[in-house]
Amino acid sequence: MLETRNIEIYYGKIMVVRGLSIKVQKGEIRAILGANGAGKSTTLKTIMGYLDDQPEKGTIWFNDKRIDRLKTEQIVPLGIAYVPEGREVFPELTIRENLIMGAYTRSGDCSAEIDRVFNYFPVLKDRLKQQAGTLSGGEQQMLAIGRALMSKPALMILDEPSLGLSPLLVTEIFDIIRTINQEGMTILLVEQNARKALSVAHHAFIMETGRIVLEGPPDKLMKNEDVQEFYLGMQQEESIKGYQRYKRKKRWR
Amino acid sequence: MSFLAIKDLGISFGGLTALSSVSMNVEKGQIFSIIGPNGAGKTTIFNCISGIYRPKRGSILFQGQEMVGKKPYQAAKMGIARTFQNIELFSHLSTMDNLLLGRHMHMKSGILAGSTFLGRNFPAAREECLHRERVERIIEFLEIESARDMPVSALPYGTRKLVELGRALAMEPSLLLLDEPTAGMNQEEKRDMMFWIRDIRDDFDVTILMVEHDMNLVMEVSDEIFALNFGIKLVQGPPHVVRNDPGVLEAYLGRD
Amino acid sequence: MAIGLNILVGYTGQISLGHAGFFATGAYSCVLLMVKAQVPFIIALPAAGLISALFGFLVGLPSLRLEGPYLAIATLGFGMAITQIISHSSFTGGHMGIEAPKMSVGSFVIDTPAEQYAVITIIAVILTVAALNLMKTRVGRAFVAIRDSEIAAEAMGINITWFKTLSFAVSAFYTGIGGALMAFALEHVSASSFNLILSITFLAMIVVGGLGSIMGSILGAALLTYLQIKLQIIQEAPVIGPLLLDISNMFFTPEGLPNIQSIVFGAIMIAIVIFEPLGMRGIYLRIKRYWKMWPF
Amino acid sequence: MQFFFDLLVGGLSMGACYALVALAMVIIYKTSEVPNFAQGEMAMLSTFVAYSLMSSYHVGFWTAIIATLLFALVLGFLLEIAFLRPAKDPTVLSLIVITLGAEMILYGLAGWKWGANQNPFQVPFSEYSGFRIGGVLITEINLWTFVTSLVIMLLLFLFFRYTKVGVAMKAVQQNAFAAKAMGIPTRRILTFTWGLSSVTGAVAGVLIAPIATLDTNMMMDPMLKGFAGAVLGGMTSLPGAALGGYLLGIIENCFGGYVSLEFKSVVAFGLIVLILCLKPTGLFVKHFERKV
Amino acid sequence: ADKVRGVTDTEIFIGQWGPQTGPAALWGAVARGSGVYFDLINEEGGIHGRKIKYFLRDDSYNPMKTKAIAKEFLEEIGIFAVVGGVGTSTGMAVRDYLMENKVPWVGPPTGSTNWTVPMQKYLFALYPRYTDEAYVLTQYAVEKMGKKNIAFFYQNDDYGKEGLKGAKDYLEKKGMKIAAEVPVEPQDTDLKSHVLKLKESNADAVILWVLPKHAAIVLGTSMAAGFKPQWIACSTLSDSTLMHKVTKGLWEGVVYANFLDMESPLVKKYLEAQKKFAPKEQETGVFFVAGFLFAEPLVEGLRRAGKDLNPDSFVKAMESIQHWNDWLGYDCTFGPNERQGMKAVYLSKCGQGGKPEKISDWLKFDTAK
Ligand SMILES: Nc1ncnc2c1ncn2[C@@H]1O[C@H](COP(=O)(O)OP(=O)(O)OP(=O)(O)O)[C@@H](O)[C@H]1O
Ligand SMILES: Nc1ncnc2c1ncn2[C@@H]1O[C@H](COP(=O)(O)OP(=O)(O)OP(=O)(O)O)[C@@H](O)[C@H]1O
Ligand SMILES: [Mg+2]
Ligand SMILES: [Mg+2]
């Protein structure tokens, strides 16, 4: 459904993404994991057409249509919704207006969608007229996801949806992700919470300094020692107890 | 007398009660965590302590002094430093300058001294050198040397969080407020952060008040945990007590 | 003396449309001090700066709570009020303005243009060095911090109220000195010179030169002043002159041709912002980088 | 008392013009946080177009007006596309500088084309007669000005409140990044606002010209006053801007009538500074505190 | 002979500033008019074999720029004399500078007393003084038109204030009181409250000492307010065709002062020159022609000074001009202690379609008092 072929992305002269190829099949949840600064958000932004003149090399395809070099406003109507990193709500608009904006590309009445969002996130319903900027961090995250749902996209791209959410809500959000996926929506997910991400994904990529270094179904990845150590934090106990700070840098080179 | 004593704190925003009658005592040298669902009022507590919000009632005694009604810069002068949930860096400046701004309070040169030096030996220049050294030490400690001269807006999220932490440290506070210090980090980075938090407490001799959603981390490092829901206290106690509290399980942790 | 405004706008991000007001304050207070109170030049000049700074301080006070367009209007109001008051007060010579005395240091009177130029350059250099220094140290950093994030700046223990007002005062000080020097260079001050267009020109200077850069301010000021002089006689320029005259004859009116000044000015301002947001400093940096790489 | 009502009517009709300029500025400000300093000149140029059509080509008034409004629309589009759009990572300040630059260009062009002469602007309604309410004469042009400004204000208000494009305009201003993610064509929206604003401003120009006579400097004062009115009302609120414009007109006239003519214009600004000190975001806008 | 600044064997350098852009650009026509006059003189063979080289600079009515221009004139170009130069505050910014450097200056186009009080050796004023002009206008209104209640509407600067002073002088002498004095700021466009003030005063005549723009607005606004006094205008508003046009006909019936004789045969010749040298010039009204007037005595002075031209010989020559009438003005007279060349105006009334109708002869100021 979505595919990037060997894309390279530059910030000025610095190459941030180096020949990245990923595929997302229809009906799937795919996750991208990776350390800070690996280039995950950059990749998503490029897919969404945010970065002018990027990708420098390579192509991006959505439903057999080439979408690299299109403008964001041309990409969204094709059926892609995007939840940016760090919430990015419209701070001075009310929650209701925020949601309406989510349905900008769709014509007609959207009250049914609004109800659906309130069904997922009842908190928002009580705050219909509150300015979004005064919501707590987590509430804003819910609004951002809800807003993306408004356009009934075929593919939803989420950048760290669990950022700043309480454990209970993280669970809920992932439940919701699973639900909407079962309702037929394809999902591409960038996450730091590897455990959760792997628990819902059908397929995952691990990204380091602009490259995919590992990919496969979650159960396979879970067995990988490095993944266990760096993303799932399974071997942390002893090192904490020993008050020892050690870091294995330069992996997968 | 506790190091930080919050008593009966209450605040509301146009009908919405964000905090109602919250009390807590933080002892010197503790790592004290506040947990709670989204919108519980955790950040609001921070904002009250650091003078950004003015609570409707209650008192906040910091080292015996009333904080309610103080301006943020006064709070800073009294030794309270903080980081922000959504990162508030001086985005056009380099990491170095950001940290130097943390030293602002400890520097003295005014307009006259600042504008009239010609060599190393003028007071303003000497002061500048001194503080730059301090900042270098913090940069080294947090291992963000590579970011030293980069404008912070070009740094990845996780590094920006570190810079913000560094800036707070540069203030040499006696109380450090950390709002979700590890949000957006992966396990490995979180683990580093965990060490740092401990090291900071030990090496820099500060008391740490922290809001965090990562339970592993909270349970590991905290001496005391305060759980909050809808602006009301759920429980307070050491990790093992809070972890098994049914209220916390239900409202916050979920069945995991 | 665009440096002053650059401190305000470039460093603390506050927009002022009233700098002509400070310019006027500086010019008038210096001249009046010398003419009416017989104060010697070396004292009157800094005094004029300080008086402007005082005004800056007063104007800065309400600005604490204002930002963006609100601030622009408030400062605009100040600029207009000052010129209005000056031009209606006989103490300041009314509309006619007053003659400025010669500059003098001790018994040494500066009267040839070359000497004048030298003195002004020296003062400008001193002030520039001071501004550069200031921006590198504590106070300057605080100014920038306020621009980027007030909340964070305050959490650093920076007293925003104080520093914002201070930035206004410092900026007014520079502009005031600039005004005073201008008064001597032209040997005359007159209220109607200090109009909104002057404030806009100041703003243009710093943008053209490069925001937040002191070198840039100087370059910008120099370029625009030069253009201002040269564009007047554009009809006399080879090739372009006759061509423009022809265009005027065909589509416009020839007597309207001097308006080309304003068009060129506007176009330069826009072009700089569009193509070189860092202004002249950006160009300078690029050239520097280019030479560093040379011959590769 | 009659004196007062006369002042009031004068204030209201001038205020209506200020209000229109204020509205025009607010429209652009709402989407891009830029006070558009070229607004006055845009209106002036449009009015000149109407004038030229009528005097040189003998086009009828209403045809000329419609042509002018179209011209204004296109002018707004053009300015946005040619000057604002190409700016790389613009800050508010650089955008302001662009509008100042545009102001100078337009002013220069108008001066080049039409010289410095005063020109009479003919309208098909009378400047001197109208109807009386209790001895106070309300001229036809007063009435037109007043009604037009009210209608435009109402239309704009409804547009921003109830249409999706209207809300999208606000959204673009607050977070252009997120607006794009919603599929909102941010650039087209910006271009559109410039057109809309330009038309509103042109209406103001056409209404001011018959009384103030047409020359290249015609809009300088109304532009500043309109801006001040917009600020007084809060810069982002349409009704606020309109009210601010009216208030300014009335205050100015009353001050001129009762206190001092010399400081009439300055007082308006002084007052605004005072009000801003008490209410930093104008009379009608809630101060938005950024939450951390 | 020593080299004289701005004079060569073949050329004389003459400079003028004038607002070509900005709010006062209307007056820029004066400086362009002078330019055409010099072209004409040059075509006729110049003066004693020298042609006039004319430098026109735009100061946008900004004294700071005027000063810069004066410096350019002296330090870069090196001019012999200045002619015209619209604006009082702009002129004042450079007066002392020009005088110190012995630059003859003929005909600053405003009627300010500052040109001649105190007397400046190298400065020859032509424009009738505003104070005197206002004096005779008021006198005419009272004595010939029988007006009893006279109000004064003036621009709030020295231009307007000098006019006001003249009017008050006359009224005081007659023991009359001024009905109202209403100032207007140059930048104002909304004059409703001004008009109401005038109306309150119940004046039967209002003297206008303002810009054309304000005159137009105030007439329109008064009309709307139902206030219809006899309007009397100063000589800066003497272009009745223009005024008739911008006021959409309201100017009809207005009485105003003239300082230049538009019926003189010279005008025809000058306008032909304009067709030749500046065919595209549109503003050939009074201001444009005034540009000729201010330059005429200068050229006459240059002629009389002869081949051996320097500032002092020029001053001598100028001082020899007595009751000279071969120009657009009236009775040009200078002398060793006289620097105000012209001291008379005549009055006209705007007739149908803006046609000027002369209603008085030249009114000489000294006989008036
Ligand atoms: N505007 C920019 N200019 C220059 N470099 C940038 C810019 N934005 C990001 N980068 C660099 O690009 C790299 C990738 O950044 P990106 O935000 O995509 O990382 P990420 O994988 O999303 O990390 P995180 O988990 O912290 O969000 C980083 O090294 C960062 O420093
Ligand atoms: N300035 C404000 N205006 C209106 N409501 C506010 C304001 N600040 C906070 N609130 C509300 O107060 C409640 C508590 O917010 P707070 O930011 O303290 O939550 P939090 O516990 O930090 O949550 P999170 O973990 O999601 O960051 C929220 O419901 C929020 O909407
Ligand atoms: Mg990211
Ligand atoms: Mg929070």
- What's the whole-number average pLDDT of chain E? 84
Does residue A38 have its Cβ closer than 6 Å to ligand 1?
A: yes
Note the pLDDT of residue A89: 81
Name which of A60, A64, A29 is nearest A44 in CA terms: A60
Do the chains contact at D178 and A76, CB–CB below 8 Å? Answer: no
Chain C residues within 8 A of D280 when measuring between CB atoms: 65-67, 70
Do the chains contact at E158 and C192, CB–CB below 8 Å? Answer: no
| Chain D: partners with 3+ C-beta pairs within 8 Å | A, B, C, E
The tokens describing C289, both together, are 């980088």
Helices (H), C112-159: 113-136, 138-148, 150-155
Residue C5 — very low, low, confident or very high, per pLDDT cuts 50/70/90?
A: very low
Instruction: Name which residue sits closest to atom 3 of ligand 2, judged by CA.
Output: A134
Among the bound ligands, the one closest to the CA of A85: 3
Residue C231 — very low, low, confident or very high, per pLDDT cuts 50/70/90?
A: low
Please state, in angstroms and rounded to a whole number, the distance separating the CA atoms of residues E101 and E120: 12
Indicate which of B191, B198, B199, B212 best probes the interface with A, i.e. most A CBs within 10 Å of its own CB: B191
Q: Sign of dihedral through CA atoms A161, A162, A166, A167?
A: positive
Q: Does domain A1-79+153-236 have CATH number 3.40.50.720?
A: no
Q: E249: which strand partners? A: none
Note the pLDDT of residue D26: 85
Note the pLDDT of residue B121: 61
Note the pLDDT of residue C158: 76
Name which of C66, C82, C68, C71 is nearest C20 in CA terms: C82
Do the chains contact at D183 and A48, CB–CB below 8 Å? Answer: no
Long-range contacts (CB closer than 8 Å, 24 or more residues apart) made by D127-136: D127/D210, D127/D211, D127/E220, D127/E223, D127/E224, D128/E220, D128/E223, D128/E224, D134/D5, D135/D2, D135/D5, D136/D2, D136/D5, D136/D6, D136/D8, D136/D9
Identify which of A8, A13, A16 to mutate to test ligand 1's pocket (most ligand atoms within 8 A of the CB): A16
Q: Sign of dihedral through CA atoms B112, B117, B121, B124?
A: positive
The continuous run of DSSP H or E covering C172 comes out as helix C160-186
Note the pLDDT of residue A247: 41
Note the pLDDT of residue C93: 60
Are the C-beta atoms of residues C247 and C239 closer than 8 Å to each other?
no
The continuous run of DSSP H or E covering C55 comes out as helix C41-63
Is C289 near chain D, with CB under 8 Å?
no
- pLDDT above 70 coverage of chain C, percent: 47
pLDDT in tens, B114-162: 555 665 566 666 767 777 787 788 787 777 777 777 777 777 777 888 8
Q: Which residue has the higher pLDDT, E189 or D21?
A: D21
Note the pLDDT of residue C229: 66
Q: Report, as ranges of residue numbers, the positions in chain D whose pLDDT lies below 50.
A: none
Residue A230 — very low, low, confident or very high, per pLDDT cuts 50/70/90?
A: low
Do the chains contact at C97 and E89, CB–CB below 8 Å? Answer: yes
Residue C98 — very low, low, confident or very high, per pLDDT cuts 50/70/90?
A: low
Among the bound ligands, the one closest to the CA of A89: 2
Chain C residues within 8 A of E94 when measuring between CB atoms: 188
Residue bearing tokens 């403008």: A71
Residue A240 — very low, low, confident or very high, per pLDDT cuts 50/70/90?
A: very low
Note the pLDDT of residue A243: 42
- What's the whole-number average pLDDT of chain D? 80
Sequence spans of domains, chain B: 4-79+173-253
Which of B84-98, C19-33, C87-101, D239-253 has the largest mean confidence? Answer: D239-253
Q: B33: which strand partners? A: B210, B225
ipTM for this model: 0.77
Q: Which residue has the higher pLDDT, B67 or D75?
A: D75
Note the pLDDT of residue C241: 62
Please state, in angstroms and rounded to a whole number, the distance separating the CA atoms of residues A211 and A233: 22
Residue B254 — very low, low, confident or very high, per pLDDT cuts 50/70/90?
A: low
Sequence spans of domains, chain C: 1-194, 196-296
Among C282-286, E93-97, E212-216, whose mean pLDDT is lowest? C282-286
For chain A, residues classed under CATH 3.40.50.300 are 1-79+153-236
Do the chains contact at A88 and D168, CB–CB below 8 Å? Answer: no
* Residue A248: exposure state from Cβ atoms within 10 A (0-12, 13-18, ≥19): exposed
Whole-prediction pTM: 0.80
Supply φ then ψ for residue D15, to 5 degrees.
-55, -35
Are the C-beta atoms of residues C221 and C205 closer than 8 Å to each other?
yes
Residue bearing tokens 């590579």: B146
Does residue A16 have its Cβ closer than 6 Å to ligand 1?
A: yes
Among B70-84, C37-51, D156-170, whose mean pLDDT is lowest? C37-51
Q: Measuring CA to CA, how many Å separate E335 from each of C238, E117, E122, E344?
A: 45, 15, 12, 17
Q: C105: which strand partners? A: C108
Is A194 near chain B, with CB under 8 Å?
yes
Chain D residues within 8 A of E196 when measuring between CB atoms: 3, 6-7, 10, 257
Is B219 near chain A, with CB under 8 Å?
no
Do the chains contact at D261 and E197, CB–CB below 8 Å? Answer: yes
Note the pLDDT of residue A209: 78
pLDDT in tens, A162-215: 877 778 888 888 888 888 888 888 888 888 777 778 888 888 888 887 788 788
Beta strand extents in E171-277 (DSSP E only): 180-184, 205-209, 230-233, 255-258
Supply φ then ψ for residue C281, to 5 degrees.
-60, -40
Please state, in angstroms and rounded to a whole number, the distance separating the CA atoms of residues A232 and D234: 51
Please state, in angstroms and rounded to a whole number, the distance separating the CA atoms of residues B58 and B10: 6
Please state, in angstroms and rounded to a whole number, the distance separating the CA atoms of residues C278 and D100: 18
Which of B50-54, B88-92, C195-199, E283-287 has the largest mean confidence? Answer: B50-54
Residue A248 pLDDT more than 60?
no
User: What CATH number was assigned to the domain covering residues B4-79+173-253?
Assistant: 3.40.50.300
Residue C121 — very low, low, confident or very high, per pLDDT cuts 50/70/90?
A: confident
Q: Measuring CA to CA, how many Å separate D176 from each of B86, D182, D183, D186?
A: 18, 10, 11, 7
Are the C-beta atoms of residues D255 and D204 closer than 8 Å to each other?
no
* Residue E149: exposure state from Cβ atoms within 10 A (0-12, 13-18, ≥19): middle
Min Cα–Cα distance to chain D from A72, Å: 6
Please state, in angstroms and rounded to a whole number, the distance separating the CA atoms of residues C9 and C203: 9
Note the pLDDT of residue B224: 86
Query: Within 6 Å (CB) of ligand 2, which residues are found?
Result: A 134-139, 164; B 13, 16, 18, 36, 38-44, 85; D 289, 291
Average the pLDDT over A151-155 and give the result: 84
Are the C-beta atoms of residues E261 and E329 closer than 8 Å to each other?
yes
> Which residues have C-beta under 5 Å from ligand 3, the single-atom ion?
A 41, 85
Note the pLDDT of residue E27: 80
Note the pLDDT of residue C251: 61
Chains A and C touch (3+ CB pairs under 8 A): no
Q: For A138-186, give the DSSP string.
A: HHHHHHHHHHHHTT--SEEEEESTTTT--HHHHHHHHHHHHHHHHTT-E
Half-sphere exposure of E26 (CA within 13 A, CB side): 19
Residue E113 — very low, low, confident or very high, per pLDDT cuts 50/70/90?
A: confident
Instruction: Name which residue sits closest to atom 22 of ligand 2, judged by CA.
Output: B43
Chains B and D touch (3+ CB pairs under 8 A): yes
* Residue A99: exposure state from Cβ atoms within 10 A (0-12, 13-18, ≥19): buried
The tokens describing D4, both together, are 């007062």
Q: How far is the CA of A77 from the centre of ligand 3 (A)?
A: 24
Residue E225 pLDDT more than 70?
yes
Q: For E98-112, give the DSSP string.
A: HHHTT--EE--SS--
Note the pLDDT of residue A232: 64
Name which of D41, D67, D42, D43 is nearest D53 in CA terms: D67
Instruction: Name which residue sits closest to atom 25 of ligand 2, judged by CA.
Output: B38
Task: Using CB atoms, pick whichever of A136, A171, A240 lies closest to residue B43.
Answer: A136
Residue C13 — very low, low, confident or very high, per pLDDT cuts 50/70/90?
A: very low
Q: Which residue has the higher pLDDT, B52 or C149?
A: B52
Min Cα–Cα distance to chain C from B245, Å: 35
DSSP E308: S
Note the pLDDT of residue C10: 47
What is the count of residue pairs from A and D with beta carbons less than 8 Å apart?
Answer: 77
Chains B and A touch (3+ CB pairs under 8 A): yes
The continuous run of DSSP H or E covering A24 comes out as strand A14-24
Does residue A41 have its Cβ closer than 6 Å to ligand 1?
A: yes
Note the pLDDT of residue B73: 82
Q: How far is the CA of D264 from the centre of ligand 1 (A)?
A: 55
Please state, in angstroms and rounded to a whole number, the distance separating the CA atoms of residues B178 and B181: 6
Q: Which residue of D has its CA nearest to C261?
A: D108
Q: How far is the CA of A84 from the centre of ligand 3 (A)?
A: 9
Average the pLDDT over C253-273 and give the result: 73
Note the pLDDT of residue C194: 67
Do the chains contact at A141 and B220, CB–CB below 8 Å? Answer: no
- pLDDT above 90 coverage of chain E, percent: 0
Helical pair B95-102 and C138-148, crossing angle rounded to 10 deg: 110
Is A133 near chain D, with CB under 8 Å?
yes
Helices (H), B60-122: 72-77, 95-102, 111-115
| Chain B: partners with 3+ C-beta pairs within 8 Å | A, C, D
